[in-house]
Structure 1
């Protein structure tokens, strides 16, 4: 089985390389392949069995003023990739294709309704992948060993601040990127039907709850984390206030949904504070 990882230089891409360390893998960073280069994509995918696309425009706020550029990568380039890869493609998407107004876990077949430019660009890419018969795996609130992310930021701030103020009015499923990488590989190796799957932790918390849990697990005083509201941190792109995704599509695939977010964070913490997996 021959694999290609697109976006291999990112947090998830690097974890995918670790999970597939013993496999036949070509790991391509942005510098190696521009996914909008269709001829380059065709050449890179020749003879490949599985393509995992973790390449994307990920700057949510910048997309508000550069929506056409974000769409060119997250929408148009993904459509070209899907036209070449078809059912070989496992494409990473996001909770941002929803509006955040739900109050119960969002099912895989819920209609898209993005509230910002990034979400709109990712929604276009999803539609193209599904039309080509590929797999869409939505994730949310990712953190991990590689690259900047919320958990690492909170732990770093502990060294320079006595307290940190963290929003307590956005709800989501903190998800360890390495666990997601394992699930993506299991999906690609399974006989699961193409379609939409949600690759997020079970359960939910707020950013405030996540920060407190990270402090506690790192041996820091969680009382140093103080709750606040989103209106204290005005940003160009509106964020969904509720990002908890349902996992019903995994039933019958032979692939397990991801575990509870706190159990996952507990497993991840030694890696995040500089230990080994």
Structure 2
């Protein structure tokens, strides 16, 4: 019978397999027995353990020395410990990637625990009678999940079992598992892009490429308002959701039907994604708008400025932001004056210039153009660098401009006379409008300090405009 080591400090020990981490646990004992905190969320996450959200606790009791189980890799995370007794544990990385087949072994008694990430094969052999093996998992067993198995006697991994497999109790099923060369690796968790047909969705395709782990869906294919949205996918197989869809018809949002559609797409939909992301530990990326502000500030808006939307579109976007912010792993990317594929302000001005039309353009709204490709690049940067979760302003760089100044630049860049553009106030521009008009923020300038601090360098909007027109 082993003697438990009392008085150790809580500490983590790396294993060489990414994400597989051993923890030394403080065990307090006296003549009556012992006590330990087997799982303590706050302390352990502070030491870098993922906040993996366990939902089930399982215990395997083993009568005899030498009982041997595994090697099983499941599509969920485990927190493994021993309540009483002692085991020899062997863990093999069965995930897709460069560490496939890597092995780690260790003895585990009640003073140790190990975090086993999704896709790492888990097995053990009891070294004492009456051993109780305990593990927390963050998903329920499902026949639809992807599992992988490895033979305990695999020659490639060559696990040095303390008690030869020929002398121990092993199930017939475990003996039939494949060798490493025939194992199906556990694939990486997927990313889901919602709103893939929109201008940002198309820009994200250009930025993220055609990886098999990225799933693209449109609003027509994936209804966020459906009652079964929570079970529409096996969400534990996803690590990221990018919400690239939105209702952006700001004037139509002031109508009865538009108001309903705006609140569904911009508020209720993101709230559903936030609920899913929270439950399954998914990183949620959501795109916000300068319209959540009233535009009365005399300085550029920082991420922590209080929201104060003027119209229905801004109100629905602000509600969506608040819902997304409740999810622990979220990035809210706030942007303005977006230009992408399809109909947009730049194309309209080019058309007017080519047709000899001299437009009146608003000259009391200030901001920066943001090309959809720049938003896609920023999203990719935040995810790749694992920047701290939260809200980030993302626009083109350079000096703020008015719509009239940008229109004049477009005319000049298309060899038209920039003086043909006449400035007009927002109030005068919309004074003769026949339908509903949404109020616009006059100041849409967003402070870029926070995103720049992550190492992202916004490209100059004027330079991008020249490239856009050149292409």
TM-score, normalised via structure 2 length? 0.55
Higher normalized strand content (fraction of residues) = 2
Task: Give a deviation string over 1:113-154, Cα, whole Å, max 9, x none.
Answer: 00111111011100011111211001100112x121111111
Contact 1:76 1:125 in 2 (8 A): yes
Residue of structure 2 in register with 1:77 after alignment:
269
Residue of structure 2 in register with 1:261 after alignment:
461
Cα drift, residue 217 of structure 1 = 2.1
**Partner SS for 2:354:** coil
1:1-277 equivalences in 2 (<5 Å)? 2-23=190-211, 24-37=213-226, 39-40=228-229, 42-44=231-233, 46=235, 47-66=237-256, 67-86=259-278, 87-133=282-328, 134-144=330-340, 146-202=341-397, 203-234=399-430, 236-254=437-455, 256-271=456-471
Cα drift, residue 246 of structure 1 = 0.6
Contact 2:361 2:429 in 1 (8 A): no
**Partner SS for 1:69:** helix
**Partner SS for 2:333:** strand
For 1:15 and 1:38, the matched residues in 2 are separated by 30
Supply the RMSD in Å over aligned alpha carbons. Answer: 1.8
Cα drift, residue 157 of structure 1 = 1.8
38 and 94 in structure 1: CA distance in 2 versus 1, 3 angstrom threshold: farther
For 2:447 and 2:291, the matched residues in 1 are separated by 14
For 2:218 and 2:410, the matched residues in 1 are separated by 30
Q: Aligned pairs, how many?
A: 269
Task: Give a deviation string over 1:72-109, Cα, whole Å, max 9, x none.
Answer: 22111210111112451110010000000012111100
For 1:157 and 1:112, the matched residues in 2 are separated by 35
TM-score, normalised via structure 1 length? 0.91
For 1:45 and 1:88, the matched residues in 2 are separated by 15
Residue of structure 2 in register with 1:275 after alignment:
none
For 1:92 and 1:167, the matched residues in 2 are separated by 25
Higher normalized helix content (fraction of residues) = 1
Unaligned 5+ segments in structure 2 are: 1-187, 431-435
For 1:45 and 1:179, the matched residues in 2 are separated by 31
Larger radius of gyration: 2
Contact 1:247 1:257 in 2 (8 A): no
For 1:121 and 1:45, the matched residues in 2 are separated by 28
Cα drift, residue 44 of structure 1 = 4.3
